[in-house]
Amino acid sequence: MTPSLANLDGRAVLNFGASGSADVARASAGRFGPSCAAVLDDWAAFLAWSASVDPDGAPLEVARLGPPVPSPRQVFGIGLNYREHAEEAGYDTSGLPQVFTKFPSCLAGPVATVPIVSPRLDWEVELVAVIGERCQRVSESAAWDKVAGLMVGQDISARDVQLEGRSPQWSLGKSFTNFGPTGPFLVPTESVANRDDLHISCRVNGEVMQDSRTSLLIWNVAELVARLSSVVTLLPGDLIFTGTPAGVGNRREPPRYLGVDDVLVSEIEGLGELTTTFATEPS
């Protein structure tokens, strides 16, 4: 079994599920780590090494974990990348994908509390791809080789801030503190069966709000890596939030926004789940 990678107190840790864990820097005698960022800078060698490691620590408690990539240099958000969601949002789906950023300081771990900074706080469960190698102008056929792994992400959005102004401010409206829960683990792409067709869903207080498959992405992971790298040099640890399926709160009748009593659970087949709660800001 290839273990997945987790961030425990800022240190890279191998996750073997119920079988336990292993601190990367300690188990490798300092060759890899100690941070997840350092591991991603040497991803191919790390992956080969990790296959031979045995767990020597306790199973990880997900609630204690930080985001697997806490400080990426670049975070790409993709808008309107599932046909049904683009249609519910009133956009046509031809042409290039909509690209924005979530500023990296908004990232949070798999169990996080989001401040209620807006009366129109909304959910967007998304598959997040993590780049594993510096690359430019990658072809679609080589693109998956540049992806270290996958994780679950939530693109929490303040719809009022996102949509205000003459030219909507997507990046600002999606970058408040803790608006980017990710994890619980970085699962190496080699370990993900059917990586282009994963069940993706989210629930609010147990009610299913989004329920789709990543095979319905208009621009799939390989196409996004090719498109983004035709412009930007991609760096190890960069994140691509690949877009959300239909069922967001502001397109429901009546609209449904997140508040103090809500528990948002976001899940992707084979990658695990995120639990997000909401709290009023101290005044």
Residue pair 109/200 in contact by the 8 Å Cβ criterion: no
The answer to whether 276 contacts Zn ion (rule: CB under 5 A) is no
The answer to whether 122 contacts Zn ion (rule: CB under 5 A) is no
The answer to whether 273 contacts Zn ion (rule: CB under 5 A) is no
The answer to whether 267 contacts Zn ion (rule: CB under 5 A) is no
Query: In the complex with Zn ion, which residue's Cβ is closer, 244 or 276?
Result: 244
DSSP state at residue 123: -
Beta strands 11-15 and 75-79: pairing type?
unpaired
Task: Please count the residues of this chain forming the interface with Zn ion, following the rule CB under 5 A.
Answer: 3
CB of 10 to Zn ion, least distance (A): 27
The answer to whether 244 contacts Zn ion (rule: CB under 5 A) is yes
Q: What single-letter amino acid sits at 22?
A: A
- Compute how many other C-beta atoms are within 10 angstroms of the C-beta atom of residue 224: 24
Q: Which residue has the tokens 């990710």?
A: 182
* CB contact set of 265 (below 8 Å; sequence gap of 6+): 202, 203, 273, 274, 275, 276
- Contact segment (CB under 5 A) with Zn ion among 67-75, 116-124, 215-223, 267-275 equals 116-124
- Contact segment (CB under 5 A) with Zn ion among 108-116, 150-158, 159-167, 186-194 equals 150-158
Query: In the complex with Zn ion, which residue's Cβ is closer, 124 or 267?
Result: 124
- Contact segment (CB under 5 A) with Zn ion among 61-69, 136-144, 152-160, 275-283 equals 152-160
CB of 17 to Zn ion, least distance (A): 29
CB of 275 to Zn ion, least distance (A): 19
Handedness of CA 247, 252, 258, 264 (dihedral sign): negative
The answer to whether 124 contacts Zn ion (rule: CB under 5 A) is yes
The answer to whether 155 contacts Zn ion (rule: CB under 5 A) is yes
Q: Which residue has the tokens 């990046």?
A: 171
- Contact segment (CB under 5 A) with Zn ion among 41-49, 114-122, 194-202, 242-250 equals 242-250
> Cα separation of 43 and 159, whole Å?
37
> Cα separation of 210 and 124, whole Å?
8
Positions in the binding site for Zn ion (CB under 5 A) = 124, 155, 244
